[in-house]
Structure 1
């Protein structure tokens, strides 16, 4: 179903907290490296504070500039849920601000990811609940609907399903299918360990990158023992 209806699904399958918590502290880049480097939402949806994001997707599909369904979602979402709001990237009206985000924090919500605008950015940047959005505006929202809760939504070039695991840091937010979580987690931890080893090699000036020249030659790159000069002298 592609049209925006007016319906709320009250239930969805959440992964266990132990599975979600297994991703805590793993950089988003390392996770995405294990997911064909294509599982992060678009960079236009950026973090508005420094709080790290980790939780389970609770999705909202709303009319651009309207937050009626978001109000309901904040009251429905459970501790550890991340409220994901799809409003088609619209920036004319903010769909949330300091008051609603404070309420979300009070209810144990683990963060908000919005492909639209928010307001009260000065307050948000000092909050310890993570908020990601495309931009900010002082224009307030409408409260008319329609909209849907707990359906698949598309934002930032990625489809997010209710119950997906979301991990976010200063770089981006990565979206993980819970059925693939165990495998991705183990591989991401291996990437972290590998990069720690590389960092130690860099610090000791022993990092071997001889593979770069080998790859360049294999791809047919020319190495010319002369200076480039098109001035004729």
Structure 2
């Protein structure tokens, strides 16, 4: 019998590590531009330190303010995995703090994203382990459940599936379906070439703005 809402899927399909690493060092903004600005998680989920984020999603769906199934996900995860937590955006209780983050770092995981809250932020800010969260509170988590591990979740308004490629920097986080990764990498090259050309052409004359305004019927009033 299936226990919907309280279950752990032990295995996921991970993309080839070499494919994941090809996104290393690429700005999230450039990746987003190559994806028509889609699949960027909400800006309410902010980086808590300057550590870059790159890895593969292990997903957690939990009731707000609870860490039981998240603790299980941390122990299931492999080096290079990113724990992505759907806590429904609730920030009354933290889902994680310094000790849990330290354990993830010890196990060589790649990062933590919480659509919820964390605590012990002074310590987290000084870590080299990337942490993103929607809020901060001193009130710690419960450990009662229920919840699910390695199911599709909603994080910052974006659906994240176990095995998705996760890239984050100071601008935020973008979610990449591994099936689209090669196509996105090709488009990123075009984005970077275009940006290089624009920089070389500064200062811009802005003529394209007038053309678009005219096309859309904008009225000018003196």
TM-score grouping bracket, smaller chain normalisation:
over 0.9
Give the match for residue 219 of structure 2. 222
> Secondary structure, in 3 states, of the residue corresponding to 1:85?
strand
**TM-score (normalizing by structure 2):** 0.95
Q: List runs of 5+ in structure 1 lacking aligned partners.
A: 227-233
C-alpha distance in 2, partners of 1:174/1:66?
A: 25
Give the match for residue 38 of structure 2. 38
C-alpha distance in 1, partners of 2:38/2:4?
A: 27
C-alpha distance in 2, partners of 1:171/1:6?
A: 34
C-alpha distance in 1, partners of 2:170/2:138?
A: 24
C-alpha distance in 2, partners of 1:49/1:4?
A: 35
| Structure 1 residue 208 displacement after superposition | 4.7
| Structure 1 residue 62 displacement after superposition | 1.0
C-alpha distance in 2, partners of 1:83/1:173?
A: 13
1:94-105 alignment, distance < 5 Å: 94-105=94-105
Give the match for residue 231 of structure 1. none
CA radius of gyration, larger in: 1
Structure 1 segments (4+ residues) deviating >6 Å: none
Deviations for 1:41-74, whole angstroms, at most 9, x for unmatched residues? 1111111111111110000111211101111111
Residues 4 and 61 in structure 1, CA contact (< 8 A), matched pair in contact too:
no
| 1:211 counterpart (190, 205, 208) | 208
Whether 2:93 is the aligned partner of 1:93: answer yes
C-alpha distance in 2, partners of 1:14/1:121?
A: 31
> Secondary structure, in 3 states, of the residue corresponding to 1:71?
helix
Deviations for 1:73-117, whole angstroms, at most 9, x for unmatched residues? 111101110000111111111111111101101111100000001
Residues 58 and 83 in structure 1, CA contact (< 8 A), matched pair in contact too:
yes
Give the match for residue 53 of structure 1. 53
> Secondary structure, in 3 states, of the residue corresponding to 1:54?
strand
Deviations for 1:174-193, whole angstroms, at most 9, x for unmatched residues? 11110000001110122122
Aligned alpha-carbon RMSD (Å): 1.4
C-alpha distance in 2, partners of 1:150/1:81?
A: 12
Is 101-110 or 190-199 further displaced after alignment?
A: 190-199
> Secondary structure, in 3 states, of the residue corresponding to 1:69?
helix
Q: How many residues align?
A: 220
| Structure 1 residue 9 displacement after superposition | 0.7
Give the match for residue 135 of structure 2. 135
1:72-91 alignment, distance < 5 Å: 72-91=72-91
> Secondary structure, in 3 states, of the residue corresponding to 1:19?
helix
Deviations for 1:116-174, whole angstroms, at most 9, x for unmatched residues? 01000011111111100011111011111111111111121111000001111111111
